[in-house]
Structure 1
Amino acid sequence: MSGPSHDAIIHSASRLFGERGYRAVTVREIAADAGVSASLVMKLFLSKENLYAAVQPEESLLAEPDVPIAELGRALVFRVLMRRERGMQEPWANIALAVLDSPDPHAARAEIRERYLDAITRLIGDPTQDRRFASTVICLMTGFGEAIRTLGLFDGRDLDELVEYYGAIVQTHIDAAKAAT
C-alpha cells in the first residue's frame, strides 16, 4: 500500500535509522518526523522490525554493472559518489550499523556477510576458496562508503579524479582475482 503517508513514513524511517540505527529510533519519532500518527505507522508496518526491513537499501549495489571487468572498480566507486550526490542512503556505509544494530545481530551478520561475499565473488570472478579478493573489495568499498558518508572525506574533491584514484585501488584487487583464475 503506497501513498503520501506511506512514502513519508518510509522516507523518515530510512533517514532516522540511517543516522541513528535501529535501537536509537522509536516508532513515535518516525511518526512525528513523517507527520503521521504512531498508530498509522503500526497499522501499515505492524512492527518496528518490519519497518526497519522495509527501509533497508536496495541491493542494487550488488547488481552487475554494465561495464567491462577492467572498469568495475571505477564503476563501484562512481555508484557510491552518485548516491552521495543524490542524497540517497549508502548501503556500503550502513553495513556495520545494519549488523550491530539489528534485532538479531548474529543472524544479520551471517546473512549480510554471505550475501555480499556471494555477490562480489560472482561479480569479480574470485576463484579462491577463501574468497580473499571478494573480501578485500568488500572491505575497500565498505571503508570508502563509510568515509564518504560518515566522515565527509573527499568532500569538494573532483568527482572524476576521485573515481580514477579510488577506483584504481579497488580495480587492483579485481584484476588480481582475474589473474588468479
Structure 2
Amino acid sequence: MKSPSSASILEAAGRLFAERGYRAVTVRDIAASAGVSPALVMKLFISKEKLFAAVRPDETVLAELTVPRAELGSALVFRVLMRRERGVPEPWAMIPFTIQDAPDPEAARVEARTRYLQNIAALIGDTTPDGRFASTVIALMTGFGETVRTLGLFEGWDFDELVAHYGSIVQSQIDACENVGDA
C-alpha cells in the first residue's frame, strides 16, 4: 500500500509529466506540487527516472471499465470526452509524449506497446498472433484522444452524438475481433 506522501508524489508527477514532459519537470517541481520536500521524493523514488517509470498515465484508460462488450467502444470514447470536460490529463494523448520524453525512448516504446497490447487484447478478446484488433483500437483511441485535446476536433458536436459516432467506429474493431474465429 502506498503512503499518502507517495500517492501525492505520484499524482503530482503524473500530472506534471503529462503537462510538460519528462525533461521540463524537476524533482523540485514535483515536490512543490505534492507539498513535500525534494529529499522525500528522492528517498521514496531514488531518482527522477524511477519516478517517471512508476507513473503510469495509462492506468486510468481501462480502470473500472465494466460494461457489456457491445458498449466498450462507446465507453472508451465517453471516458475521453469526460476527461476533456473535466480538464484532466488524457492518457491516450500522453502516450507519444511519454515515450518521446522518456530517458530511454526505445525501451519506453517497447514497454508501452507491450502493456497496451496485452491490456486491450485481454479486454476485447483479441487472440490474433499480432494483436491486430487491439492495435487498431489503440490507434483509434490514441488518435481520438490526441486530436480532441490538441486540435480541438469535434468541438461543435453534441456529446452523446459523438460518443455514438466514434464509439461505433471503435466498436467495429471490437466486434470484428469477436468474429475472426467465425470465418
Range class of TM-score, shorter chain? 0.7 to 0.9
Q: What residue number does 1:131 align with?
A: 131
- State the SS of the aligned residue for 1:154: coil
Q: What residue number does 1:51 align with?
A: 51
Distance 2:8 2:67 in 1: 35
Q: What residue number does 1:42 align with?
A: 42
Question: What are the superposed Cα offsets for residues 11-61 of structure 1, whole Å, 9 maximum, x if unpaired?
Answer: 432222101211222223333445554334323432112322343225242
**Which stretch shows the higher mean deviation, 123-132 or 160-169?**
123-132
Question: What are the superposed Cα offsets for residues 76-104 of structure 1, whole Å, 9 maximum, x if unpaired?
Answer: 11121222233333221111122121122
**Any conservation in 1 of the 2:60–2:91 contact (CA below 8 Å)?**
no
Aligned 1:84-103 pairs, distance under 5 A: 84-103=84-103
What TM-score does the superposition give when structure 1 sets the normalisation length? 0.84
Distance 1:84 1:132 in 2: 28
* % same residue: 66
Show structure 2 runs of 5+ residues with no match.
none
Aligned 1:18-97 pairs, distance under 5 A: 18-34=18-34, 36-57=36-57, 59-63=59-63, 65-97=65-97
Aligned 1:156-167 pairs, distance under 5 A: 157-167=157-167
Q: How many residues are paired up?
A: 180
Distance 1:149 1:125 in 2: 29
**Any conservation in 1 of the 2:10–2:55 contact (CA below 8 Å)?**
yes
**Mapped pair 1:142 → 2:139:** no
**Any conservation in 1 of the 2:58–2:92 contact (CA below 8 Å)?**
no
**Any conservation in 2 of the 1:12–1:34 contact (CA below 8 Å)?**
yes
**Any conservation in 2 of the 1:93–1:146 contact (CA below 8 Å)?**
yes
What TM-score does the superposition give when structure 2 sets the normalisation length? 0.83
RMSD across aligned C-alpha pairs, in angstroms?
A: 2.4
